[in-house]
């Protein structure tokens, strides 16, 4: 089975702190994604990566950066956390090659910024 | 462009049928359906490809109308386990990204 794991299920940080969210997948997937999920807004793409050291902005990249140094690991970084970044963060991964490849999701990290 | 899902919420009794929809204003290559239960990760259900291909998962089936750029998910003889939020993700040609809708909340009661 495909497994996508995220470093924390729950995280509480203070405004202005630097926050790292880690995601690891074990299926040798080329593509990895970071989404945030808010009530009534669905899943919104923050960033995605289609290869090591490659990244592309999604729909809401402001206030976030990412890092992909190894194929299996994709990190989301909040340089200076703000209260409006309180949300559920979901990581996903998929194969490349077909436009219709399934995305597999991790369990999510619920981040609270005080 | 985010697809539009309707209705926003559905409440049905065990054994009843329901249809939920996902529409896009852009030409699509495929539509992906996921279900998410409270506090859990979205789980992949099925993919619908252009050409009107219909695929099923247990008593849940779906269709993709390429002309209308719309997909419908059919919950037949619903079970309590069908409760959750259903998301559609749409893919356009030459694009590995999925645009997700806001979700359809489905509640199945005994």
- The alpha carbon of residue A54 is apart from the nearest alpha carbon of chain B, in Å, by 14
Distance CA A72, CA A52 (A): 9
Q: Is A37 exposed, middle or buried (0-12, 13-18, 19+ CB in 10 A)?
A: buried
Task: Please tell me which residue, B95 or B35, carries the higher pLDDT value.
Answer: B35
Q: What angle do CA B97, B103, B106 make, to 5 degrees?
A: 140
Please name the member of A50, A101, A105 whose beta carbon is closest to the beta carbon of B42: A105
Supply the pLDDT for residue A2.
66
Task: Please tell me which residue, A76 or B95, carries the higher pLDDT value.
Answer: A76
Supply the pLDDT for residue B106.
97
pLDDT tops 60 at residue A99: no
Supply the pLDDT for residue B67.
84
Confidence band for B1, pLDDT divided at 50, 70 and 90: confident
Kindly identify which residue of chain A lies nearest to residue B4, measuring between CA atoms.
A42
Q: Does B19 touch chain A (CB under 8 A)?
A: no
Supply the pLDDT for residue A56.
92
Residues with Cβ < 8 Å from A74, sequence gap 6 or more? A23, A25, A32, A33, A34, A49, A66, A67, A68, A91, A93
Task: Please tell me which residue, B103 or A96, carries the higher pLDDT value.
Answer: B103
pLDDT tops 70 at residue A87: yes
Supply the pLDDT for residue A90.
97
Supply the pLDDT for residue A37.
94
Confidence band for B103, pLDDT divided at 50, 70 and 90: very high
| pLDDT tens by residue, A16-54 | 999 999 999 998 999 999 999 998 888 999 999 999 989
- The alpha carbon of residue B33 is apart from the nearest alpha carbon of chain A, in Å, by 10
**Residues of chain B contacting A100 with CB distance shorter than 8 Å:** 29-30, 32, 47, 49, 91
Mean pLDDT of B79-91: 94
Radius of gyration, CA atoms only, chain A:
13
Please name the member of B29, B93, B100 whose beta carbon is closest to the beta carbon of A43: B100
| pLDDT tens by residue, B24-67 | 988 888 899 999 998 888 998 988 887 666 666 677 889 888 88
Q: Is the backbone peptide bond immediately before B7 cis, with ω within 30 degrees of 0?
A: yes
User: Within the 50-89 window of chain B, which residues sit less than 8 Å (CB to CB) from chain A?
Assistant: 87, 89
- The alpha carbon of residue A41 is apart from the nearest alpha carbon of chain B, in Å, by 5
Q: Does B2 touch chain A (CB under 8 A)?
A: yes
**Residues of chain A contacting B93 with CB distance shorter than 8 Å:** 99
- The alpha carbon of residue A82 is apart from the nearest alpha carbon of chain B, in Å, by 23
Portion of chain A with pLDDT greater than 70, in percent: 95
Supply the pLDDT for residue B22.
95
Kindly identify which residue of chain A lies nearest to residue B94, measuring between CA atoms.
A99
Confidence band for A80, pLDDT divided at 50, 70 and 90: very high
């Amino acid at each position: 089975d495909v497994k996508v794991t995220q470093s924390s299920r729950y995280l509480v940080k203070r405004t202005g702190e630097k926050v790292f969210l880690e995601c690891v997948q074990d299926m040798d997937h080329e593509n990895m994604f970071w989404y945030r999920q808010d009530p009534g807004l669905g899943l919104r793409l923050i960033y995605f990566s289609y290869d090591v050291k490659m990244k592309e902005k999604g729909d809401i990249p402001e206030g976030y950066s990412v890092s992909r140094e190894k194929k299996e690991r994709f990190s989301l970084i909040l340089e200076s956390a703000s209260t409006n970044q309180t949300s559920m963060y979901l990581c996903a991964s998929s194969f490349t090659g077909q436009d219709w490849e399934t995305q597999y999701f991790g369990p999510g990290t619920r981040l609270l910024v005080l | 462009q985010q697809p539009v899902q309707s209705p926003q919420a559905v409440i049905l009794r065990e054994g009843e049928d329901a249809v939920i929809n996902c529409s896009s204003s852009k030409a699509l290559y495929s539509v992906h359906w996921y279900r998410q239960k409270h506090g859990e990760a979205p789980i992949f259900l099925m993919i619908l490809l252009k050409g009107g291909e219909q695929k099923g998962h247990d008593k849940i089936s779906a269709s993709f109308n390429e002309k209308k750029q719309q997909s419908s998910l059919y919950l037949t003889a619903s079970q309590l386990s069908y409760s959750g939020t259903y998301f559609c993700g749409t893919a356009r040609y030459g694009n590995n990204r999925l645009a997700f809708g806001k979700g359809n909340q489905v509640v199945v009661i005994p």
